[in-house]
Amino acid sequence: MATTTTRRHFLQSLSAAGMFSVSSSLFCSPKTTRKPNIIFILADDLGYGDLGCYGQQAIQTPRLDQMAAEGLRFTQFYAGSTVCAPSRCCLMTGLHSGHARIRGNALVPLEQTDVTVAEILQERGYRTALIGKWGLGEEGTSGIPNQKGFDYFYGYLNQVHAHSYYPAFLWENEKQVPLRNKVIYSSNGYAQNVGSAAVERIDYTPDLFSSKAQEFVRLNASLPFFLTLAFTTPHANNEFALTADHGMETPDYGIYAEQPWPDAQKGHAAMITRMDQHIGLLFDLLKELDLDENTLVFFSSDNGPHKEGGFSPTFHDSNGPLRGIKRDLYEGGIRVPMIVRWPEHISPGSVCELPFAFWDILPTCAELSGAQNLTEVDGISLAPLLTGSHRKQKTHDYLYWEFHEGKASSQALRMGDWKSVRLDPRGALELYNMAQDIGEEHDVASQYPTIVHDMQSILAVARTENDYWPLKSAE
């Protein structure tokens, strides 16, 4: 669905020095032709700067740092959106937010005609599971995980329900499974009896998700499997304020208990380190079961860091050098960590500076599974990068986002080194050079009218109309 720009200066920008280069020594030659197991681990509201391998100094993430040291770290990878539901829709369907069905955090489900990566892999003989947060279809709709390609589901359907780390129940497939927690509810103005705070805390859901993920891998060790492990860490529970003074809900502060930080910052750090430990247990299990070399593992976040529940993203520089946070289309809202590990295929310590995005995951997994005749998507397969044929790797003409939860709809476009942001469909286009201004501090639109014109031309055709999310102006 992408529109190709043929202007000479744009083509030159695609081959700008260093921008789209990958060292020929980065990738190993594959030693097996067996279909790989695929695990996609997704954090929730984790910032670009929240991991040690992306520059974090205070929060300890040794297993994810090890994953980066043993695999491939992307420096310019983008989420599907700047909030959870549309971002996850882009991840699942291979479409950017100008074409995806779900473009905001509303109760709009995926429909039967929306093809997910899980459905594609299921047809290729994969055993599939979604463990954690879904957010793409409520009970009784066409969008529940078991209707969208997942053989097994355990977790939250509703994103506000997912605020609570100690809920009264979770879903297992299409049934509610009670937990031992006791809660009080808040409607949150969104949906009744989903947002809650625990007054008796026993079952901590990230721990449950970790255990269920390990159980799924053990049960399916002899089959090709696809696991999406969607942690809610480190999203805030704003309803937790009913019983506490901040929303970073964790069993304890762990190694940060004695730090002279606000409790919300201790909780945030503890949540991330606990998730890191869970990921380490999963890697240990892959080695124990002799699945390590044939398991491709992705790790990323659904959008940038939040400023909720008493947490401050500036305290530990959660967005690193980037401008903006969750709900912004500046880099801090959409550029996210992405680490990929696949022993015997990807050389240790590899770094890729190419810009890619969530909608590339579906075609990547499809190609690696041997699937053919895909429906039209916006994504590009990263299989060449991941299998040693990096010189054959295609790149994007542009990356597109739109967001609708402010007074006006906003749009963003990445084209080579150039990034544009428009905060209102009738407003002026801001222009930034990502190679020179990663923090988006200098709007150079007035200096490059031809680039602005090309960006405006793409914005005019990059999206399809959507009844739920029309472009709206504040004027």
Between the two ends of the chain, the Cα-to-Cα distance in Å is 30
Cα(104)–Cα(123) distance, rounded to whole angstroms?
29
Predicted TM-score (pTM) of this structure: 0.93
In the structure encoding, which two tokens stand for residue 147, read together? 């209707």
Query: Helix or strand or coil: residue 198?
Result: strand
In the structure encoding, which two tokens stand for residue 161, read together? 């329900």
Between 3.40.50.300, 2.60.15.10, 3.30.300.30, 3.40.720.10, what CATH number should domain 35-397 receive? 3.40.720.10
Number of Cβ within a 10 Å radius of residue 429: 18
pLDDT over 90 at 317, yes or no:
yes
* Contact residues for 59 (Cβ-Cβ < 8 A; gap 6+): 50, 51, 52, 268, 269, 272, 273, 316
**Residue length of the chain:** 475
The answer to whether the 35-397 and 406-459 domains have the same CATH topology is no
Number of H helices, E strands in the chain: 10, 17
Average pLDDT over residues 243-253: 91
Q: What is the rounded average pLDDT for all residues in the chain? A: 92
- 132-164 confidence digits (pLDDT tens): 999 999 999 999 999 999 999 999 999 999 999
Show me where the domains of the chain are located: 35-397, 406-459
Of 396, 351, 297, residue with least CA distance to 94: 396
Average pLDDT over residues 228-257: 92
Confirm if 303 and 79 have CB atoms less than 8 A apart. Answer: yes
Q: Yes or no: is domain 406-459 CATH 3.30.1120.10?
A: yes
Query: What are the φ/ψ torsions at residue 4 (nearest 5 degrees)?
Result: -85, 130
Of 151, 48, 128, residue with least CA distance to 438: 48
Cα(75)–Cα(390) distance, rounded to whole angstroms?
16
- 280-314 confidence digits (pLDDT tens): 999 999 999 999 999 999 999 999 999 999 999 99
DSSP helix, strand, coil percent of the chain (3-state; round to 5): 30, 20, 55
Residue 234: asked if its preceding bond is cis (omega within 30°), the reply is yes
Type and span of the H or E element at 88: helix 84-93
Cα(85)–Cα(143) distance, rounded to whole angstroms?
12
Average pLDDT over residues 438-467: 97
pLDDT over 70 at 255, yes or no:
yes
pLDDT over 70 at 2, yes or no:
no
Average pLDDT over residues 31-35: 65
Cα(142)–Cα(136) distance, rounded to whole angstroms?
9
Would strands 399-403 and 195-200 be described as parallel, antiparallel, or unpaired?
A: unpaired
- 4-19 confidence digits (pLDDT tens): 332 223 223 333 333 3
